[in-house]
Every structure is written in C-alpha cells, then in structure tokens.
C-alpha cells in the first residue's frame, strides 16, 4: 500500500456530524489516502479531486458514482445514462440534455421564477419566524422545478422521497439506505410514471427529450431515463444549497446587509456558499486501469472517493478557506463537479438561488437563527432537516 491508511469512515456518524476536521486530516495525510473502513482510496485535496474529475478515461463513471462497483454489484436501479455512463454513450445523450438545459433556455424561465420568488419571500418575511428548510429552501424548488421540467401539480412530495433514496444509495447499504428504501415501491412507481411522455407538459425539457426520441437521436426508453435524471438530481440538491445559503446569511449579518444594499452580490455570494457548503459531500469514480495520482499508484477496478466539500476548503487552493467572503473568486469550486460530468442543471440551480435571494433582499431586512439547525443524516449529502429562522421584514 503506497497510500497512508486512515481510519475515517466517510459514511459514519462522526463524519456526517462534522465533515470538516476529517477533511483536514485527509488532506494532511497526503494527496491519496487508503480508507480502511471501506477498502477504498480517497482524495480530499483540491488539485487531485479536480484532476481526477477531468480524467474520465482513467477514472470512469459507469462503475457507479457511489461505493458500489457496478462491475461487481448489481445497481439498485438501472444506471443513469448521464451520471453512471462513460463516453461515447455518455457523450451522445449529454449533448442532447445540455442543449435542452442550456443557459439560454434556462434564462427564459427568469420572469416566472422572479414572480414566484417574490410572492414566497413576501409571505415568509411577513410570518417572522419560520423553518427555512420547509418554507423556503424546499418549498421554492418544489414550486418552480417541477413546472420547469413539465410535471403536473400532484405528488411532488415523491421527488423528496426519491432524492433521499438516490443520495443515500451512494454510500454503503447501511441502516440509512434501508430507511430511505422503506416503502420505496410506490415512490419508484410514481417516478417511472412521471418520466413518460404522457405525464409531461408539451413545452418543457421533458417534452424536448421526447422530441429527440421522435427524431431518432435517442430511444423512447432513453428519453424516460433522462427525465429520471432530472427528477433525481433536481430538487434535493438545490433545496440543500438554498438551505445552506439561508444558514450562511443568517450567521453572517454584515454580509447579508452588504448583499441587500447591492443585490448584484447575490450571484457571487451564492457561489461562495456553494464552495463553503457543498450539498454533495462525496462522489466516486472507478479506475479503468492502473493509474498514478500525485506519485501514488492505484490498481485497476478500484473505487476512488472524491471529497468534494473538503476540496472546496483546501487551504492549498483557497486562502483562509473557512471564511465566508462574498468578494472571493469562488466560482471554480467543485460543488457542481467539473469536466464532462459537470452538473447539467447548474444554470437552473443558479437561477433558483439568484431569484430567491434577490427577492429576499427586497423583503427581509435582517435574518437570524431562531434555534439550532437540525441536520438530516444522508450518505452523500450535507443536508438540513430543519432551519429555524427569524426575519425582520423590510
């Protein structure tokens, strides 16, 4: 073993409660470490995580983005055509989804998002005390995202249940995963039904994917699986990003005051929140051959755990890495990944954040914690279950 052996369990309670000290220990130990808890390699320094995400030939995705190695263990659902696929298959479908989710297409949603965000922000600010998770961070994506994809109004709670299944599945088959999978069948059935052509409005990305099927660019089944990707990745991730943004502003009143005074700061401040509080803590790649990273050789067919959130706070890349600095150049954080698998919904997530927090600058004078935030244990997400907030309107 050329890598230092570390006893941190990246799916254990201690890591979940506070991933930061573990991140520092991993970085100090070396560019590549061996995590004996699961018999896997890991990386937590920015340079190596960035490089591995871009080296999709040597470290691929069809082995799965979680701990399970799809070459050996049967996946819990048919693999994603995006997240869990490699070129050239990935390239072919990614091109289609990228076009359908392009920044220009997403930008056309802005007026509607602004209207919804303003209504929601006004209503919540008038209430004074509220749960930032249920009433803003989760409520807003659930309000705008299903419409943006072309889903009807009913059954949106299934998206939250399904997100919990997807993101817990990236870890070991632990009690957390078993809990998430309890009564999974009706949720999976709802998701499957809502990836079908008949469930999607004719003007959204869902219908555009079926247009591609009609042109013969993808099959009908592939269109359904690509809609499933949108439903898998589109709600929980943004909900937790918005929750951490609320938490960060509530605990940094000077930065909130500055952002209120100049709402053009909302966008850079959100990137800095994403850097500091990546909703996705960890993701895997699988080596396709023996590969040497920063002098450490990793055999073929090994899972490699990328500590995304830790890399975003690596002092080798970020001066004073734990400080919330809204003037920092933060946009090259790894919370949306990088390379060919970089988040295809990033423009949508950014639009949600920009519209919601711009609306809040108009309706909320001060924001503070009204009680301790309650974490929601998850195998790969940095998730909040509850965020008690107090807002003074104005």
The nearer residue to ligand 4MI, 22 or 308, going by C-beta atoms, is 308
* Window 11-70: residues binding ligand 4MI (CB under 6 A): none
* Window 243-272: residues binding ligand 4MI (CB under 6 A): none
Of 8, 44, 68, 83, the one binding ligand 4MI (CB under 6 A) is 83
Residue 71 CB contacts under 8 Å (≥ 6 apart), including other chains: 63, 286, 301
What's the CA gap between 285 and 356, in Å, rounded? 33
Phi first, then psi: what are they for 389, rounded to 5°?
Answer: -125, 150
Please choose, out of 25-33, 125-133, 226-234, 310-318, the segment that lies near ligand 4MI by the rule CB under 6 A.
226-234
Output the DSSP codes for 22-67.
HHHHHHHH-SSEEETTTTEEEE-SHHHHHHHHH-TTTEESTT-SSS
Of 68, 125, 166, 187, the one binding ligand 4MI (CB under 6 A) is 166
CB of 319 to ligand 4MI, least distance (A): 28
The nearer residue to ligand 4MI, 77 or 362, going by C-beta atoms, is 77
Please choose, out of 54-62, 228-236, 269-277, 289-297, the segment that lies near ligand 4MI by the rule CB under 6 A.
228-236
The token duo for 114 is 């602004």
The nearer residue to ligand 4MI, 48 or 236, going by C-beta atoms, is 236
Of 106, 243, 280, 381, the one binding ligand 4MI (CB under 6 A) is 280
The nearer residue to ligand 4MI, 237 or 248, going by C-beta atoms, is 237
The nearer residue to ligand 4MI, 229 or 259, going by C-beta atoms, is 229
Report how far Cα 226 is from the mean position of its chain's Cα atoms: 17
CB of 262 to ligand 4MI, least distance (A): 32
* Total residue count of the chain as it appears in this document: 394
What's the CA gap between 251 and 367, in Å, rounded? 8
CB of 9 to ligand 4MI, least distance (A): 21
* Residue 351 near ligand 4MI by CB under 6 A: no
CB 53 within 8 A of CB 312: no
Alpha-carbon torsion angle 209, 213, 215, 217, nearest 10: 90
Report how far Cα 387 is from the mean position of its chain's Cα atoms: 19
Output the DSSP codes for 160-227.
HHHHHHHHHTTS-S-HHHHHHTTTHHHHHHHHHHTTSGGGS-TTSHHHHHHHHHHTTSS-HHHHHHHH
Please choose, out of 15-23, 142-150, 231-239, 263-271, the segment that lies near ligand 4MI by the rule CB under 6 A.
231-239
* Window 170-189: residues binding ligand 4MI (CB under 6 A): none
Q: Coil, helix or strand for 313?
A: coil
Please choose, out of 80-88, 132-140, 305-313, 327-335, the segment that lies near ligand 4MI by the rule CB under 6 A.
80-88
Q: Coil, helix or strand for 73?
A: coil
* Residue 80 near ligand 4MI by CB under 6 A: yes
The nearer residue to ligand 4MI, 158 or 259, going by C-beta atoms, is 158
Output the DSSP codes for 122-158.
HHHHHH-EEEHIIIIITHHHHHHHHHHHT--STTTHH
Please choose, out of 31-39, 119-127, 227-235, 297-305, the segment that lies near ligand 4MI by the rule CB under 6 A.
227-235
Number of residues counted as binding ligand 4MI (CB under 6 A): 9
* Residue 229 near ligand 4MI by CB under 6 A: yes
Please choose, out of 90-98, 193-201, 230-238, 354-362, the segment that lies near ligand 4MI by the rule CB under 6 A.
230-238
Q: If we measure between CA atoms, which residue out of 266, 267, 198 comes closest to residue 227?
A: 198
Binding stretches for ligand 4MI (CB under 6 A): 80, 82-83, 166, 229, 232-233, 237, 280
């Amino acid at each position: 073993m050329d890598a230092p052996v570390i006893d941190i369990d990246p799916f254990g309670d201690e890591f979940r409660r506070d991933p930061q000290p573990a991140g520092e220990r991993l970085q100090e130990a070396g560019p590549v470490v061996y995590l004996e808890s699961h018999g896997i390699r890991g990386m937590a320094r920015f340079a190596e995580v960035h490089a591995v995400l871009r080296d999709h030939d040597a470290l691929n995705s069809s082995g799965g983005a979680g701990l399970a190695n799809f070459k050996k263990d049967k996946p819990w659902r048919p693999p994603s055509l995006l997240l869990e696929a490699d070129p050239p298959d990935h390239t072919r479908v990614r091109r289609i989804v990228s076009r359908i989710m392009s920044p220009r297409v997403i930008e056309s949603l802005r007026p509607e998002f602004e209207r919804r965000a303003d209504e929601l922000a006004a209503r919540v600010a008038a209430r004074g005390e509220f749960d930032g998770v249920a009433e803003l961070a989760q409520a807003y994506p659930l309000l705008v995202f299903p419409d943006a994809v072309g889903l009807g109004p009913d059954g949106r709670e299934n998206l939250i249940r399904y997100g919990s299944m997807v993101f817990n599945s990236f870890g070991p088959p632990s009690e957390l995963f078993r809990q998430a999978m309890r009564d999974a069948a009706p949720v999976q059935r709802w998701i499957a039904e809502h990836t079908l052509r008949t469930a999607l409005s004719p003007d959204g990305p869902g219908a555009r994917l079926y247009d591609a099927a009609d042109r013969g660019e993808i099959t009908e089944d592939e269109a359904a699986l690509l809609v499933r990707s949108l439903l898998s990745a589109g709600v929980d991730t943004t909900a937790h990003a918005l929750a951490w943004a609320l938490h960060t502003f509530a605990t940094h009143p000077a930065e909130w005051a500055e952002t209120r005074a100049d709402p053009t700061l909302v966008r850079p401040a959100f990137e800095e929140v994403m850097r500091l509080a990546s909703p996705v803590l960890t993701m895997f790649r699988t080596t396709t051959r023996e590969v040497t990273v920063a002098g450490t050789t990793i055999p073929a067919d090994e899972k490699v755990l990328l500590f995304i959130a830790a890399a975003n706070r690596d002092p080798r890349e970020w001066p004073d890495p734990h400080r919330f600095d809204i003037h920092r150049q933060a946009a090259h954080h790894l919370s949306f990944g990088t390379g060919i698998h970089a988040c295809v919904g990033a423009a949508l997530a950014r639009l949600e954040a920009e519209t919601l927090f711009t609306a809040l600058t108009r309706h909320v004078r001060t924001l503070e914690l009204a009680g301790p935030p309650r974490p929601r244990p998850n195998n790969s997400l940095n998730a909040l279950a509850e965020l008690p907030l107090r807002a003074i309107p104005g």
